[in-house]
């Protein structure tokens, strides 16, 4: 299930969600504009936010590294599959330069997705820690009430 179970998505599931959202946005942008643009940015960041909110609390640290990895995969894939104007037929050197410039010029999208994931992960980790502490206190209280006095 894309939205995860009650337990939440694994890191792999969350990464696939970000990859699918970003790839869909990249495909739409390439078809409409010939390069990565606004649709890619919106879907990539939305995928990052959704993944960070749906991942299991134990996997919050792993989700933080997902946006840069997925962003790089998409940029490299688009760079090889749909080279920018002027780099077609220019060899591997021109493709590498084109991909590098795409990685740099679209960095605000990556940073926005990354910082959104970090913020969500920090908040969710804090809530999980408080909930875990409350459960432990309740369990201790229950155990102390069950012990016979004497």
Rounded to whole angstroms, the Cα distance separating 32 from 24 reads: 12
Residue 132 placed within a domain: yes
Q: Is residue 107 part of a domain?
A: yes
Asked if the structure places residue 137 within a domain, the reply is yes
The pTM score is 0.80
DSSP 8-state symbol, 126: H
- Looking at per-residue pLDDT, the higher value among 114 and 90 belongs to 114
Domain that holds residue 134: 11-146
- In whole angstroms, what is the distance from residue 93 CA to residue 91 CA? 6
Q: Cα dihedral sign for 132, 64, 27, 74?
A: negative
Q: What kind and span of H or E run contains 104?
A: helix 92-105
pLDDT value of residue 89: 58
Among 64-68, 94-98, 145-149, name the most confident range: 64-68
Q: Using CA atoms, how far apart are residues 48 and 43, in angstroms rounded to an integer? A: 8
Whole-number percent of the chain with pLDDT over 70: 88
With beta carbons less than 8 A apart as the criterion, state whether 98 and 79 touch. Answer: yes
Q: For residue 85, is it within any domain?
A: yes
In a domain, 127, yes or no: yes
pLDDT at 90: 63
Stronger pLDDT, 80 or 67, i.e. the higher one: 67
Structural domain contains residue 122 = yes
Domain total in the chain: 1
Q: Which residues pair with 9 in a beta bridge?
A: 55
54 part of a folded domain: yes
Q: In this predicted model, what pLDDT tens digit does every residue of 36-74 receive, in sequence order?
A: 889 999 999 999 999 999 999 888 899 999 999 999 999
Which residue in the block uniquely carries the two structure tokens 């999980």? Answer: 128
């Amino acid at each position: 299930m894309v939205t995860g179970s009650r337990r939440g998505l694994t890191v792999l599931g969350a990464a696939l969600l970000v990859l699918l959202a970003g790839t869909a946005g990249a495909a739409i942008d390439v078809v409409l504009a010939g390069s990565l643009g606004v649709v890619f940015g919106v879907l990539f960041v939305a995928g990052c936010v959704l993944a960070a909110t749906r991942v299991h609390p134990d996997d919050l640290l792993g989700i933080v590294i997902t946006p840069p990895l997925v962003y790089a995969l998409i940029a490299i894939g688009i760079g090889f599959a749909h080279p920018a104007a002027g780099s077609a037929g220019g060899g591997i050197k021109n493709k590498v330069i084109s991909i590098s410039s795409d990685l740099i010029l679209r960095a605000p999208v990556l940073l926005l997705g990354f910082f959104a994931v970090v913020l969500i992960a920090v908040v969710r980790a804090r809530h999980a820690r408080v909930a875990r502490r409350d459960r432990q206190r309740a369990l201790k209280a229950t155990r102390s009430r069950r012990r016979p006095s004497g």
